Amino acid sequence: MNTLDGIRVLDLSRVLAGPWCTQTLADLGADVVKVERPPGPDHPGGDDTRGWGPPFLRTRDGSDSAESAYYLGANRNKRSITCDFTQPQGQALLRRLAARADVLVENHKVGDLARYGLDWTSLQAVNPRLVYCSITGYGQTGPYKDRAGYDYAIQGLGGLMSVTGERDALPGGGPQKVGVAVADLFTGMYATVAILAALRHAERSGQGQQIDLALLDTQVAMLANLGANYLVQGRADGTVPGRSGNAHVNIVPYQVFEVAPDAQGQPQHLILAVGNDAQFARFCAVAARPELAADPRFARNPGRVRWRELLLPQLEAIMQTRCKADWLATLTAAQVPCGPINNLAEVFADPQVQQRGMVQRWTHPLTDALDLVASPLKFSLTPVRSDLPPPLLGQHDGAVLADWLGSSA
């Protein structure tokens, strides 16, 4: 038995934030029904991300399918139906399904679903216990509520790009987005948490509710310690956190260092992540520079932060005296946090990643060997599901209508 067995989720979301949320609910055992646009003369049908390739899934004969890797990575353990809810028959069908659902997730523009009688107010009348999660770029209220929300724009507007990237004064400095769509992913995870809390309330009270999730709100919340730094001090004295490259604004040394080149003379780097004073002392012992840990300016982290411009050049010179393998072995043995900077090939070849089962092989309707990143959730009693590969468009039309509505073939 899975944790969310018996929970029915009607998924009207597409692209990433909503599907990431519903994929997690599906992993936990919920019956997630992905409602997709049917093919038409001006659209191939389905979630737009089905066409966001290459790469595309290769079929058994080696040809490209219509299933992009992007889509496959956010839609496992779901069932797919096609329904044109711009038409009266489609609207009626979705209202019948919503009456049987525990959760509905959508990420349409504010007010868009009201045109079809599929908004929170309309469906609450059909199903008072329904948990209705709306995911938008800017929320259901406010001056930006009618704008379309895109992760890239949210990373900029929400401050993330102002603190991501190399320092402006250095080569390559300037704003950078994160390499994956983190505003979408953060919002999907927050939506999952909110839905679980609302389900608990509905079970106890019989009362559903609407959840208003905004990418911008989530991005502002995920400023975390940097947001707190500004509110606690920066707003008063005008200090605004900026880009620090690979360094940490509150901890030193906690950054990337260049080490001795490899046998072919190629530059090498590693991460040194000293999190407390004892670790710094152990690092200094490994580096054969115990006097640095004894220096009153550097012995405690606040001093190392204040005196970073004096300390870091010394550490940079020390780190370049040994190769990456030497540093990793000796620092790890001394319990000083450190690590390599892996590319994705190295990530999936890493023995820890492999032992933790973070790659999962699926049998898909189009291939017998579909490898996808696995869920990181690991339970001692209720493991996550692994029975439904990402669905083909409309693959489960008949099965869902039979299961949810008792319809005949």
Is the confidence at residue 409, as pLDDT, over 90?
no
Q: What angle do CA 337, 263, 339 make, to 5 degrees?
A: 10
Q: Are 385 and 29 in contact (CB under 8 A)?
A: yes
What residues are paired with 35 via a beta bridge?
81
Token look-up 């339970």 returns 379
What are the two backbone dihedrals, phi and then psi, of residue 47, each rounded to the nearest 5 degrees?
-55, 135
Task: Give pLDDT tens digits for 181-228.
Answer: 999 999 999 999 999 999 999 999 999 999 999 999 999 999 999 999
Cβ neighbours of residue 297 under 8 Å, at least 6 residues apart? 303, 304, 306, 307, 310, 311
The count of C-alpha atoms lying within 13 angstroms of the C-alpha of 96, restricted to the half-sphere facing its C-beta, is 16
- For the 254-341 domain, the top CATH level (class) is alpha beta
CA distance 306 to 143: 41
In a 3-state reduction of DSSP, which class is residue 240?
Answer: coil
pLDDT of residue 196: 98
pLDDT of residue 239: 85
pLDDT of residue 200: 97
Task: Give pLDDT tens digits for 96-130.
Answer: 999 999 999 999 999 999 999 999 999 999 999 99
Q: Are 156 and 94 in contact (CB under 8 A)?
A: no
Q: Are 243 and 173 in contact (CB under 8 A)?
A: yes
Q: Which of 31, 184, 212, 217 is labelled catalytic? A: 184
Task: Give pLDDT tens digits for 291-341.
Answer: 999 999 999 999 999 999 999 999 999 999 999 999 999 999 999 999 999
**Structure tokens given for 339:** 């690590």
Length of the chain: 409
Rounded average pLDDT over 33-37: 97
What is the average pLDDT score of the chain? 95
CA distance 7 to 195: 11
CA distance 379 to 392: 29
Is the confidence at residue 249, as pLDDT, over 90?
no
DSSP assignment of 345-377 equals HHHHH-HHHHHTT-EEEEEETTEEEEEEEPP--
Q: Are 28 and 53 in contact (CB under 8 A)?
A: no
* Positions of CATH 3.40.50.10540 in the chain: 8-221+354-405
**Structure tokens given for 404:** 């949810």
Phi-psi domain of 222 (left: phi exceeds 0; alpha: psi -120 through 50; beta: other): alpha
Write the burial class of residue 378 (CB in 10 Å: 0-12 exposed, 13-18 middle, 19+ buried). exposed
CA distance 144 to 139: 8
The candidate with the shortest Cα–Cα distance to 133, out of 253, 255, 25, is 25
Is the confidence at residue 41, as pLDDT, over 90?
no
* Positions of CATH 3.30.1540.10 in the chain: 254-341
CA distance 384 to 376: 9
pLDDT of residue 173: 84
The alpha-carbon radius of gyration of the chain (Å, integer) is 25
In a 3-state reduction of DSSP, which class is residue 242?
Answer: coil
Pairing relation of β-strands 8-12 and 103-106?
parallel
Query: What does CATH list as the number for 8-221+354-405?
Result: 3.40.50.10540
pLDDT of residue 156: 96
Task: Give pLDDT tens digits for 258-298.
Answer: 999 988 999 999 999 999 999 999 999 999 999 999 999 99
Give the N- to C-terminal CA distance of the chain in Å, as an integer: 29
pTM (2 decimals)? 0.91
Look up residue 233 and give its DSSP letter.
I
Would you call 371 a catalytic residue per the annotation?
no
Phi-psi domain of 387 (left: phi exceeds 0; alpha: psi -120 through 50; beta: other): alpha
Is the confidence at residue 234, as pLDDT, over 90?
no
